[in-house]
Amino acid sequence: MAEAENKQVIFKQYIEGVPKETDMEIKVSKTELKAPKGSGAILVKNLYLSCDPYMRGRMRDFRGSYIPPFVPGQVIEGFGVSEVVHSDNPNFKPRELITGLTGWEEYSLIQKTEQLRKIQQDGIPLSYHVGLLGMPGFTAYAGLYEVCSPCKDEYVFISAASGAVGQLVGQLAKLHGCYVVGSAGSNQKVDLLKNMLGFDEAFNYKEELDLDAVLKRYFPQGIDIYFDNVGGDMLDAALLNMRIHGRIAVCGMVSQQNLSDAKGIHNLFNLITRRVKMQGFLQSDHLDLYPRFLEDVTGYYKQGKIVYVEDMNEGLESAPAAFIGLFSGKNVGKQVIRVARE
């Protein structure tokens, strides 16, 4: 096995506020294309990498969270789809495809192999394993079914609805017989929601001065389920429009990710009068459902009942800008980086 050049995205230092491209740097190092003997590790070639808002949380120097911070000077870690190049682990063979946590680089040595999942190619795009069939898709599934318990004919509102999570929440809710409205940050995204993703209605929140009024317009009867991907003003407006026994899944709060002190939510009193449940969740608490999720969603996709919109950037060099773009809503659909051709 030879040594190869290995382009990497390095995390520079802990940050506050909105992440910038310069918080990361591209470096080229050398990597032996081999897993050390006795390590139990595998050496993989990364094909697709996933840009996800939760990664912002790992750029803070805070150890009390559910996931440790990045290490300054080290390669950024994230979900990916990779091909095994060399294995010191009897469970993995060269040429096999895997998905799980890997590095933002061309080649990665993966020590923690227990959390990897092998991919059998079956006509589903490989990159979907970090989106539709990966953490974001499972977040949608667990959040909708475990936190929101949807019933047929209920009124469902989803913010950041064309994003990696929102687009699946909406389609699953539609399959469940709900009335589904999504908000997004551009007319292109609104068009996607209505004409491709099958939402009943959608609106561009940037064109609305009064979020309470727009929710009253789309939900004259009120909202049974709010799948909240943004927090902030949209959450505050949704609180004014919840129906009795409504449920709010608190998922991303992407609008608040960069703020140490958010603007504040003013309408929580409505939780009492309407007896609303508001629940934060992480997909990782529900992994027992993962096999059922994979089966369900793979089936829906193959039957043509759901689609998935990706925003694919080419080349590892494009990763920092693509990641930064998440926080201004630049991505249209799930943001993925193609690192190498399959």
Interface residues with a second copy (CB under 8 A) are 57, 65-66, 231, 235, 244-245, 250-253, 256, 261-266, 268-282, 285
The CB-of-154 to a second copy minimum distance in angstroms stands at 18
| β-strand pairing of 334-338 with 310-314 | parallel
The CB-of-47 to a second copy minimum distance in angstroms stands at 30
Contacts of 176 (CB under 8 A, 6+ apart): 144, 150, 152
By beta-carbon proximity to a second copy, the closer residue of 80 and 252 is 252
Contacts of 45 (CB under 8 A, 6+ apart): 82, 83, 85, 106, 107, 340
* Alpha-carbon 48 to chain mean position: 14
| CB-count exposure of residue 292 (10 Å: 0-12, 13-18, 19+) | exposed
By beta-carbon proximity to a second copy, the closer residue of 12 and 60 is 60
Q: Which of 130, 76, 157 lies closest to 337 in space, CA to CA?
A: 130
By beta-carbon proximity to a second copy, the closer residue of 148 and 316 is 148
The CB-of-260 to a second copy minimum distance in angstroms stands at 9
Return d(Cα 157, Cα 8) in angstroms, integer. Answer: 39
List the structure tokens of 174.
Answer: 């539609």
The CB-of-125 to a second copy minimum distance in angstroms stands at 29
By beta-carbon proximity to a second copy, the closer residue of 277 and 305 is 277
Return d(Cα 55, Cα 78) in angstroms, integer. Answer: 8
By beta-carbon proximity to a second copy, the closer residue of 1 and 244 is 244
By beta-carbon proximity to a second copy, the closer residue of 23 and 228 is 228
The CB-of-279 to a second copy minimum distance in angstroms stands at 4
By beta-carbon proximity to a second copy, the closer residue of 246 and 320 is 246
By beta-carbon proximity to a second copy, the closer residue of 20 and 245 is 245
The CB-of-313 to a second copy minimum distance in angstroms stands at 27
Q: Phi/psi of residue 22, each to 5°?
A: -75, 0
Q: Is 333 left (phi over 0), alpha (psi -120 to 50) or beta?
A: left
The CB-of-277 to a second copy minimum distance in angstroms stands at 4
CB 227 within 8 A of CB 249: yes
The CB-of-317 to a second copy minimum distance in angstroms stands at 31
By beta-carbon proximity to a second copy, the closer residue of 27 and 245 is 245
Q: Which of 193, 203, 253 lies closest to 229 in space, CA to CA?
A: 253
The CB-of-314 to a second copy minimum distance in angstroms stands at 32
List the structure tokens of 46.
Answer: 């990364």
Rg of the chain (C-alpha set): 20
Return d(Cα 59, Cα 53) in angstroms, integer. Answer: 11
CB 192 within 8 A of CB 198: no
